[in-house]
Amino acid sequence: MIKKILIANRGEIACRVIKTAKKMGISTVAVYSEADANALHVKHADEAVCIGPAPSKDSYLRGDLILQKAKALNVDAIHPGYGFLSENAQFAKACADQGIIFIGPTIEAIEAMGSKSAAKQIMQEAGVPLVPGYHGDDQNPTLIKQSANDMGYPVLLKATAGGGGKGMRQVWSEQEFDDALAAAKREAMSSFSDDKMLVEKYLTEPRHVEIQVFCDNHKNGVYLFERDCSIQRRHQKVIEEAPAPNMSEALRAQMGEAALTAAFAINYSGAGTVEFLLDTDGSFYFMEMNTRLQVEHPVTEMITGEDLVEWQIRVANNELLPKEQSELSIKGHSFEARIYAEDPNNDFLPATGTLHLLKTPETNANVRVDTGVEQGDEVSIYYDPMIAKLVVWDENREKALSRLESCLQHYAIGGVTTNIDYLRRIAGSTPFKQAQLTTDFIERHNESISTQTSVDVDTYLPAIVLGYLLSEHNQLEGEPEDSPWNIHDSYRSNLAHPELIELLVNDKLYSVSATMNIASVESPKQWTLHINQVEMTVSGSITDDTLTCSLNGVKTASPIMFNDATISLFTSQGMLTAQIQGPDLGEVGEDDHANAVVAPMNGTVVALLVKAGDKVTKGQQLIIVEAMKMEHSIKAPYDGTVAECFFNTGDLVSGGVALIDITKSDTE
């Protein structure tokens, strides 16, 4: 009987498992790296133990150390979450050897599905339909390339030990193949310590539809319907939904039965996901089986009313499945949007920093936020940059999508750049509303969904000015009550003194005159503003990082964040940022590396492709930096000659630091 579980993971999935364990009366143990000492999952667990330094290889991937801590704390079972050790057969075996239950499938099932090529062979023998491709052991690059040439382009290269889009490349022509194979192998080796590849035909208009399966140790199995995960970027899922739109009952049953066939072929036990490519003619092809709980499992929970983590624990306890197939049904529709610390306007580079502001939509039976962070936490370079999963439900797709859009409007994060506005543009796009879903949706509609929506400055600038005035006055509130500095009524012997405020918004300078109304010394404070020769009256207050503003009698409430001289207001149209302009004291110096190529984010140099003296052309790859398990190729901005390289392979770099100095060609 499982009475105590150690969660061998971090972040939102660790918090998710802890929540269900507590509901079931099971004690929990969190593990954490030195970087996660104050993390949310550590605070929520009954016990917590440190397992090493920040890098995953020294902490969350140390299965030996995790097992050592588990034995010392008399743990009955280990839940691996997803990622890290969740699909590591050696770790599952080590748990069994120590008499600890691994909450997941059998070692044999993990091994069978751990290699994409081996999995394809098993599925072929079981009669599960496959996409044409090469899945052999011979890894001669010439043979792999010839296989691609024979099946015709485009093709998809995949790391056989991969997942999460790592070690994958689309190749559209023979000329691209060699570079793509080298990059995919390099990324696979970095992510999985295994660069074995497979290649398969790339369907041009497929949907990514996956089936949630569950089996127990008594040869029972069910499928909990499907999820559409077609909205992807770089093979990473962005928005998922359940059930899949435009899915007939016959096709749903056909895919569900095929998924169970795949599970039974490897004597599966526990939660698993069988991923298919669904073509426009209704044909579908096995891609892979994930032998773990999926990131997007909440949408399945929302439409079925089942707790899949509870199912996992019960199966691990050797119980029968909680329900039979006939007892399962679909109710309503659900979406999940993955909120990431990344910059959609800079090639989606991962972002790091402190979450100075974190306001989520109000959660209830229809809205769920799965997260592992809270306001004040840091997003570091060491782990995946996902901040949270926003999950919504309603009685049909149209209503659920409307709810998703509304919730994204009320999600405010300050301190790091996020993809929230980008998610809003996808959710609000006509093709998405019409469920025109394909795995290349983002590429196909990139022009429309990448266009930034602009915030109406005239509408929200008075609120930003009010926020500034309130913050300035609040800074003086600590003065003694009888101090003359504690009187903020702008009193002068003649007239009230107007304050001149200059703000830079979207590279445009605004001058605002603000005069406090004497009658409003008590809260809420009130000012008369003059902006662009227009007079208006504003009043309000700031409570819990929310600015309440009354503008000419019309009230609004918006999250607001102050960071030195920068003010950010989170409006229904997006974030509006203003910089308060101070006097120019002439302190800005010359850039020591005016011609330098700089690091776009914190990371590690994994490849330096040039040296001092090399001539380079515009667009040529110079250096590859890895951050948050993804490679980012940095290219020459113009023709020139490399003057100096400041870092070598393996070096850590900070965002904004000069990497390579290039002397621009005279002809440029």
For residues 353-381, one letter each, b for 16 or more C-beta atoms within 10 angstroms of the residue's C-beta and e for the rest, the string is: eebbbbbbbeeeebbbbbbbbeeebebbb
DSSP reduced 3-state for 164: coil
The answer to whether the beta carbons of residues 210 and 273 sit under 8 Å apart is: yes
End-to-end CA distance of the chain: 73
Backbone angles phi, psi at 350, to 5 degrees: -60, 145
**Residue 297, CA atoms < 13 Å, CB-side half-sphere:** 28
Which stretch of DSSP H or E encloses residue 393? strand 386-394
The answer to whether the beta carbons of residues 63 and 94 sit under 8 Å apart is: yes
C-alpha 64/C-alpha 68 separation (Å) is 6
Closest CA to 567 of 504, 656, 511: 504
Only one residue has tokens 């509870």, namely 310
The region, left, alpha or beta by phi > 0 then psi within -120 to 50, assigned to residue 574 is left
Which stretch of DSSP H or E encloses residue 334? strand 333-340
Q: Compute CA 596 distance to the chain's CA centroid, rounded to the nearest angstrom.
A: 30
C-alpha 668/C-alpha 245 separation (Å) is 52
Rounded alpha-carbon distances, angstroms, from residue 303 to 165, 260, 333, 435: 27, 20, 6, 18
Q: Which residues are catalytic?
A: 292
Answer positive or negative: Cα dihedral of 82, 85, 194, 343. Answer: positive
Cβ neighbours for 482, distance < 8 A, ≥ 6 positions apart:
none
